[in-house]
Amino acid sequence: MSNVSSVATPLTVGLVEFTEPMEHMMYLPYSLGLLQSYVLAHAADPARYLFLMPICKREPLAQMAGKLSLAQVVAFSTYVWNIRHSLALAMRLKAANPKLLIVFGGPQVPERAESWLRAHPYVDVAVHGEGEVPFLKLLESLPQSPDQISWSEIPGLSWIDRDGSYHNTPKGPPVADLDTIPSPYLSGFYEPLMLAMPEQKWVAVWETNRGCPFSCTFCDWGVIQSKVRRFGQERVRAEIDWFGRHKIDFLYCSDANFGMLPRDPEIASWMVETKQRTGYPRTALMQMTKNQADRAFDAFKILADARMLRAATLSMQSLTPAVLSAIKRDNISLVAYQELLRRFVNAGIPTYTDMLIGLPGESFESFLASIDGVITQGQHEDLRFWNSYLLPNAEMAAPEYRARYGIESVEIPCLPPFVPATPPPEGIVETLEMVIATATMPRSDWVRLRALAWLTQILYYGKLLQLPLLLLHALAGIRHADLLRAFLEDPLPPNSPIWAQLRSFLSHQAQEISQGKPEFVLTPDQASGIPIWMPVQSFALTLLLYSDKRDAIFAESKQVLTTLIARLDSHLPPGLLDEALELAHCLFLAHLPAHRAFNLTLSYNLWDCYQRILKNLNPELRQGIYLLSHAPDGRGGFAVQETAYASL
């Protein structure tokens, strides 16, 4: 409940946005830069405001509270990964100074804010939607308190007054001219922070436009389906130059649909030119539009040719019509998806496809069919599975939507993978609300599905058995769904202890997550020995590679596949399965320094067939004598070469 007394001019403002580590880097607090830059550009008297150094790195609460002790207003930008730390700091600040005005904004502040504000009485006011305009108006309304002046004319606010009454004002329209919001990069906001942390490497969050024309129910952008607005080209180009001059390693573009606008290939060219001139940014992550395939391909190819792109995103989420209807999503057609994949593969551009686990309307069988469809259409590089989370302002989190689709959830710890697993500061653990059941997917099937997703990543995309499985599909017509099911839950042949253990491990991990345990495995890092949180599929592959199980797993896999081939009455040329498994075994061991170089004599052109399948071409199997060598490629890596000595 608000209890704010008059404050004197000038007004001292603190800004807090706890950002997450990314590998060895840290995100610059983008939202804070926007807020401060907008206030100083549009306030009636900018000199009135004294902004303290922004806080973006988690430190002991007492230490952070000390840094903010002179503030008269403290504003927090909140997300799933920082809401609990933000609330803990706000509560401490309010206890030390009841006159302090505490403002919360960001996606984690619910639109229906009354119960949330009553649960957190130390938060004086919540800001909804785009925060630049309401935050400035809020600051300009001070030193008067909510008891002296009505905030009813300020858009997008919620608060509880001294009498305990709840107030909410409608959100204003989106900012039409985005260039009225100064760039925090060009306004000088970040230089003091970067000077204070000279050893830190940074990730910059970047917008070239705002808005999303789609309304997916799992995304909080879907609630505010809006026209795409763009920042001016001069500003965009100047920001790219800033990233280069300030040695920004990684650029995270938060555009919802990069490649949608006609200018996007030109923006990609500017990024490449800047990297060639300055060496930075080294890498960029862009969310690719599902429409405008030609334009998106052109933009991403420009970035990929300059080695600025890790991979192009080709999101599907699900192929199940009932699911797509429930989440209000229209995918590109499978024909268009396959063609786009083919173009990226031929251009040598890595891709990945996203799929969500636990969406309404999904079942175990329909999700297995979706996986089968994505692989069949040619996604052989990377299929990433994400748990479905309920975001406060997404339609999927609304009570009526949950009831309609029978959504059940559990809170799990929010942990970044592949970073040291240090104890949570002051015992504060951020959490995610994860879907673990729906009307069409009971909890037991969610556990099966989660294990299936890990297994798919281990077998196909971790490359443990991708080569033989793709050959079985292409040459014997065995469906990917049947291949996956054979390893996941078909009766195992006798003497298959490793596969029995792996099945049990995956099922156990899924069961643990469904009960609120971490979604990653705590394990020592191979290089440093420091405990890290590792994704389950990565842990399983690492364990197999560095244990005495790495040979036996292929012998057991032969039994599983031989049993499946016999049951389906399928046929392969003599000896092909043995040779495919032997080659897969050698390729897996090649991750170890002692096994990197190998030579193998085969009776079939398996490597050529495999490469053709990866390019979505017919395999054209030939029999003969083929020497396969895995040797240094002259560029610091290794490459496979297949030589035909005789062909029948």
C-beta of residue 517 within 8 angstroms of C-beta of residue 412: yes
- For residue 422, what pLDDT is reported? 84
**DSSP label at residue 349:** -
Lowest-confidence pick of 87-101, 340-354, 427-441: 340-354
| Percentage of the chain exceeding pLDDT 70 | 96
**pLDDT mean over 227-233:** 92
How far is it, in rounded angstroms, from Cα 218 to Cα 401?
11
Q: Which two tokens stand for residue 468?
A: 């033989």
The span from the first CA to the last CA of the chain, in angstroms, equals: 84
Q: Is the pLDDT assigned to residue 243 strictly greater than 80?
A: yes
Q: Hey, which residues does 408 pair with through a beta bridge?
A: 437
Amino acid 224: pLDDT: 58
Query: Which phi and psi angles does 329 have, rounded to 5°?
Result: -125, 135
- Look up residue 444 and give its two tokens: 């037991």
Cα–chain-centroid distance for residue 450? 17
Instruction: Judge whether residue 604 has pLDDT over 70.
Output: yes
**CA dihedral for 46, 47, 48, 54, sign (positive or negative):** positive
For residue range 107-147, what is the model confidence (pLDDT) as tens digits? 999 999 999 999 999 999 999 999 999 999 999 999 765 45
Q: How far apart are CA 447 and CA 444, in angstroms?
A: 5
Q: Which of 173, 205, 170, 31 is nearest to 107 (CA)?
A: 31
Nearest to 269 by CA among 308, 230, 314: 308
pLDDT at 63: 97
Q: What is the pLDDT of residue 212?
A: 85
- pLDDT tens-place string over residues 52-65: 999 999 999 999 99
DSSP state of 624: E
DSSP-derived pairing of the beta strands 383-387 and 531-535: unpaired
Residue 219 has pLDDT above 50, yes or no: yes
Strand 11-16 versus strand 73-77 pairing type:
parallel
Q: What is the token pair recorded at 497? A: 């202890």
Tokens of 46: 């900018």
Provide the residue ranges of all domains of the chain, joining segments of one domain with +.
11-168, 556-647
Name the H helices within 75-230.
83-96, 114-119, 132-141, 191-196
Contacts of 602 (CB under 8 A, 6+ apart): 579, 582, 583, 626, 627, 628
Considering Cα of 42, then 47, then 50, then 56, what sign does the dihedral take? positive
What confidence tens digit (pLDDT) does each residue in 206-216 have? Answer: 999 998 888 89
Give me the half-sphere count of Cα atoms (radius 13 Å) on the Cβ side of residue 203.
Answer: 17
Q: Answer yes or no: is pLDDT of 8 > 80.
A: no
The two structure tokens encoding residue 537? 């599929």
Confidence of residue 488 (pLDDT cuts 50, 70, 90): very high
* CA angle centred on 128, ends 126 and 134, rounded to 5°: 85
Does residue 7 surpass a pLDDT of 60? no
State pLDDT tens for residues 325-347.
999 988 878 888 888 889 999 99
**DSSP-based three-state secondary structure for 240:** helix
DSSP H helical ranges for 396-442: 399-405
User: Is-contact 18 416, C-beta < 8 A?
Assistant: no
291 pLDDT higher than 90: no
**Rounded CA gap, 476 and 575, in Å?**
14
The C-alpha atoms of residue 62 and residue 68 are separated, in whole angstroms, by 10
Q: What is the pLDDT of residue 648?
A: 59
Q: How far apart are CA 475 and CA 490, in angstroms?
A: 22
Q: Is the pLDDT of residue 20 over 90?
A: no
Most confident listed range (15-24, 504-513, 541-550): 504-513
Q: Which of 90, 79, 81 has the alpha carbon at shortest distance from 15?
A: 90
Quick one: pLDDT band at residue 611, thresholds 50, 70, 90? Answer: very high
3.40.50.720, 3.30.360.10, 3.30.70.100, 3.40.50.280: CATH of 11-168: 3.40.50.280
Greater confidence (317 vs 214) lies with: 317
pLDDT recorded at residue 24: 83
Beta strands in 96-168 (DSSP E): 101-105, 125-127, 157-160, 166-168
566 vs 237: CA distance, rounded Å = 61
pLDDT over 60 (residue 546): yes
Residues 477-494 have a mean pLDDT of 97
Within 231-333, residue ranges assigned H as helices are 233-245, 264-278, 293-305, 321-326
- Alpha helices for 568-614 (secondary structure H): 576-589, 606-614
Residue 367, pLDDT score: 98
Amino acid 76 reads F
Q: Per-residue pLDDT averaged across 172-191, rounded? A: 95
User: Token pair for residue 298?
Assistant: 């052109």
Q: Which runs of E-coded beta strand occur in 266-397?
A: 283-285, 312-313, 351-357, 383-387
Residue 226, pLDDT > 80, answer: no
Paired with 356 in beta bridges are 386
Distance from C-alpha of 243 to C-alpha of 239, rounded to nearest angstrom? 6
User: What's the rounded Cα separation, in Å, for the pair 157 and 117?
Assistant: 12
| Amino acid, res. 294 | D
- Check residue 634 and give its pLDDT: 75
| pLDDT averaged over every residue in the chain | 93
Q: What is the reported pTM?
A: 0.93
pLDDT of 441-463, one tens digit each?
A: 999 999 999 999 999 999 999 99
Q: Is the pLDDT of residue 18 over 90?
A: yes
pLDDT at residue 3 tops 80:
no
Of 156-170, 410-424, 503-517, 631-645, give the lowest mean pLDDT range: 631-645
Per-residue pLDDT for 5 more than 70? no
The Cα 433–Cα 90 span in angstroms is: 22
- The whole-number average pLDDT for the span 209-235 is 83
Name, in order, each residue with C-beta under 8 angstroms of 202's C-beta and a sequence gap of 6 or more: 25, 26, 27, 28, 194, 246, 248, 249, 250
Whether omega for the bond prior to residue 281 falls within 30 degrees of 0, making it cis, is yes
